[in-house]
Structure 1
Amino acid sequence: MTPFRSTTTTALVSTLLATTLAGCQFGGQEQDTSPIVIAADLELSGAAAGVGKAYRQALELKRQQLNASGALNGRTIELLVKDNRSDASESLRNIADFSNDSRVTAIIMGGCNECAVGAARTVDEKQIPTVALAAASAVTSPVSERRYMFKLAPNAADNAAALTVELRRRNIDTVGLLRSDNAYGVEGSTALAREFAKVGIQVLAEASVRGTDTELDRQATTLTAAGPDALVIWTPPEQAMLATSAVKRIGFDGALFLDASAAGDLFLGSAARAAERATLVFTQTMVIDDVIATTPAKAARRQWFQDYTARFGGYHGSASFAADAVQLIADAELRAGGPAGQVDRDALRDVLETSQMDGLSGPIRMTPDNHSGLMPQALTTLVARNGRWRLQG
């Protein structure tokens, strides 16, 4: 072959290759490298700031991990975060602002039940997919009026069922109940009454606590005076730890049982002595360092626990819900597809509604009839031992 013919052949091959690549790039669908913009409405100040801080840390860590992983097909996640000050009115303003921002793909809301329930109508009217980390069933029910609302948090009915199993196993017949003075607290009381009726457990006394209360001696006295075998505490983490200290201070020596909403820091700090041997229903991720990683999902949870602890110096139980919310939205966005650089919220909603994954929190399944994704199997029983939560057994 002459030098001229060799050069010509090489040039032709190069031209054909360039044309083929150009056809893939321009004749087909152009690769989308636009950012996935997720907005977050969180309780960064006010009564629920402790949990809100954990959510923000988890969102940022998960964002960084996904962006560095290469799993987003050339795209990256951006976060827009606003503080709702633990106030439903402020939260609603944030949701309206996020909804009107054409860059925003979806919204993640924090653990404030009143905020999520109060925003549900606006979320549907604005047609913006929203994943709330609040527990109340009214966040996503009825689904016909919550088409764009989803949630990732343990459900009251599942918590009540798990607590009842443990109470029955311990042969406890009578309890006192301390619950939040809000819709989720009422829901918990109802769910517990339903489960208790099946096994003959009696509630001897019930008291409520507001999210801003810091003195719980009155409620503790009312509950312990009734003489129950155990106390069930159905409150956010701050009140739960205050309650354990209050009842122990006045001499109550019965058992303590906490619902999942009471899960906070892994290490119990100043409440360690009062909470010793208390029982908590929550996800296994909270104590994944006690678990042998026998599956890829468990290995991922252990790695998440280690990464979060290394970054922030401790672990907060609710962190995994926030991370799973980011993963759900990112996965749904990639599956929804659509024109490059354009946000298709309706397509994203449709994908979210049938999402399934073994998340950091446990198995998650969304269906058109159920927008509350955390499965009952995600819950297990933890016990406070030597200043921290441990896996029971």
Structure 2
Amino acid sequence: MATPMTDSTMLTRRGVLSAAAGALLLSGCGPTTAQDDAEPDGSASPGGPELLIGVSLELTGRGAALGVLQERALRISLEDINVERVQVGNLRRSVRLLVRDNRGDARLAARQTTDLIRDDHVHALLGTTLPETAMAVAGVAQRLRTPFVSLAHGDGIVLPLAQRTFSYKLTPDAADVARRLAQLARSEGLERVALLAADGLHGDSGVRAVTAALRTVGLELDRAVRLPRGGADFADAAEKTVADEPDGVILWSAAPDTGSAARALRRAGWRGPLFLDAAAVAEETLEGSNATAVEGAYAVHPACLGGSTLTNTTTAALARRDFVFRYIQQHGGFSGFAPYASDALRLIADAARLSTSIDRGRIRAFLQTLVTDGLVGPYAFTPIRHSGFERDSLGVYTVSGGSWVRIS
């Protein structure tokens, strides 16, 4: 799904990155030989003519609200890819996914990932929707030198770069999301904004990013309150957040905590503007009793949330439209789900195809130079930036009538 450079993109940032990527790869990789399909120890590659990808997802337990949706997306895209398979060197390889349910447990995710690499000999890894499980997988991936494409929110997954040379992240950076939220709050005429942030690594990123972003646009951070760990009662945190009657509240948390926290804020008497970060966007956030609590809330999210218009006929838009149609057919609805897992699968397949090899090191080398349009949005990876989502494609949405509606 990699997009070739055209005359109209020659002078864009992504066009320059494409040209630089080609030069880097030509200087850094030697010619492909039959040895490229061997393991680092020189033995024949296990798996035969397959490209094996290990998948770690939260299919049960904490994180399942997003993990199950990612598995659905994977199945749709895997079927598409395997129609013609992936041309890797002189072989067309089927893609096989080895899916593991990490149950939201970082230690289990690490053990499963170790087994996927050592016992199943996967060529690459993708997955996890929680930053804690993503960090666990990233640590194993680095130690065992296997490329990992993360679906979780949290900047530490790919930082510091010297310790994350095999990890890549598809979700927007916290600073980019916080910047758009702060600009939106300022445009609404707000002066004091309170922050209610999740526990854990995702919330940590949010506190840092929102604090800096509000300062940049001249707004006051009224207070920063953290949600209790482990899905406990959010009532106390909500009451503390609105105690000083701020002009607006930023809720920085992922589903399913977003809906619960929004309900707690409403029960605490909050009726003012509510702003959500990108991790809040999932079907569960708009379901049941959550719908009333988040009605009118704003969210910053990749532009795919608004769907494709009938007049948009780019390759990426057509692929996105087809994906949404098939998702609705199979699962009965599509309410703001961004298919990061589908993009991760295609990025790994593209890297293997471009590298003409299933060698883990070569797949990693080509991942870090991919410039492509995905279903979620455009990505531009570089050797010094493993968080590839392009900030310019973030959109601002509001919840209206139980749906996400783009307003800018």
Q: TM-score, normalised by structure 1?
A: 0.86
> Where does residue 153 of structure 1 map in the other structure?
171
What are the Cα deviations for residues 9-58 of structure 1, in whole angstroms up to 9, with x where unaligned? xxxxxxxxxxxxxxxxxxx989x981111110111111111111011111
> Where does residue 20 of structure 2 map in the other structure?
none
> Where does residue 368 of structure 2 map in the other structure?
353
User: Which entry has the higher C-alpha Rg, 1 or 2?
Assistant: 1
Kept in 1, the 8 Å contact 2:54–2:126? The answer is yes
Code of the residue aligned with 1:391 in structure 2: it is: R
What are the Cα deviations for residues 169-221 of structure 1, in whole angstroms up to 9, with x where unaligned? 11111111110111221221111111111222112122212463152221111
1:294 Cα shift?
4.4
How many residue pairs get aligned? The number is 361
Q: How does 1:84-95 map to 2 (within 5 A)?
A: 84-95=102-113
1:234 Cα shift?
0.3
What are the Cα deviations for residues 119-176 of structure 1, in whole angstroms up to 9, with x where unaligned? 3332112111111111211111121111111111111011111111111111111111
Code of the residue aligned with 1:330 in structure 2: it is: A
> Where does residue 44 of structure 2 map in the other structure?
none
1:364 Cα shift?
0.4
> Where does residue 294 of structure 2 map in the other structure?
275
1:378 Cα shift?
2.5
> Where does residue 324 of structure 2 map in the other structure?
305
Q: How does 1:3-152 map to 2 (within 5 A)?
A: 34-69=49-84, 72=87, 74-101=92-119, 103-152=121-170
For the residues of structure 2 that align with 1:317 and 1:353, how far apart are their CA atoms? 28
For the residues of structure 2 that align with 1:29 and 1:288, how far apart are their CA atoms? 43
- Structure 1 residues 291, 321: CA separation in 2 closer, same or farther (over 3 Å shift)? farther
1:287 Cα shift?
2.2
For the residues of structure 2 that align with 1:336 and 1:102, how far apart are their CA atoms? 22
> Where does residue 237 of structure 1 map in the other structure?
255
Q: 2:216 aligns with which of 198, 204, 216?
A: 198
For the residues of structure 2 that align with 1:146 and 1:316, how far apart are their CA atoms? 33
Q: Which runs of 5+ in 2 are unaligned?
A: 1-32, 38-47
Q: 1:228 aligns with which of 246, 251, 266?
A: 246
For the residues of structure 2 that align with 1:259 and 1:118, how far apart are their CA atoms? 23
Q: Which runs of 5+ in 1 are unaligned?
A: 1-27
Q: 1:173 aligns with which of 163, 173, 191?
A: 191
- Structure 1 residues 143, 364: CA separation in 2 closer, same or farther (over 3 Å shift)? same
For the residues of structure 2 that align with 1:267 and 1:51, how far apart are their CA atoms? 11
Kept in 1, the 8 Å contact 2:335–2:403? The answer is no
For the residues of structure 1 that align with 2:234 and 2:98, how far apart are their CA atoms? 37
For the residues of structure 1 that align with 2:121 and 2:230, how far apart are their CA atoms? 36
For the residues of structure 1 that align with 2:75 and 2:229, how far apart are their CA atoms? 26
- Structure 1 residues 37, 316: CA separation in 2 closer, same or farther (over 3 Å shift)? farther
SS at 1:75's partner residue? strand
Kept in 1, the 8 Å contact 2:176–2:391? The answer is yes
The Cα RMSD (Å) is 2.1
Q: How does 1:323-362 map to 2 (within 5 A)?
A: 323-338=342-357, 343-362=358-377
Percent of aligned pairs sharing the same letter? 31
For the residues of structure 2 that align with 1:69 and 1:209, how far apart are their CA atoms? 47
Kept in 2, the 8 Å contact 1:255–1:278? The answer is yes
What are the Cα deviations for residues 245-266 of structure 1, in whole angstroms up to 9, with x where unaligned? 2222232110000011111118
Kept in 2, the 8 Å contact 1:131–1:149? The answer is yes
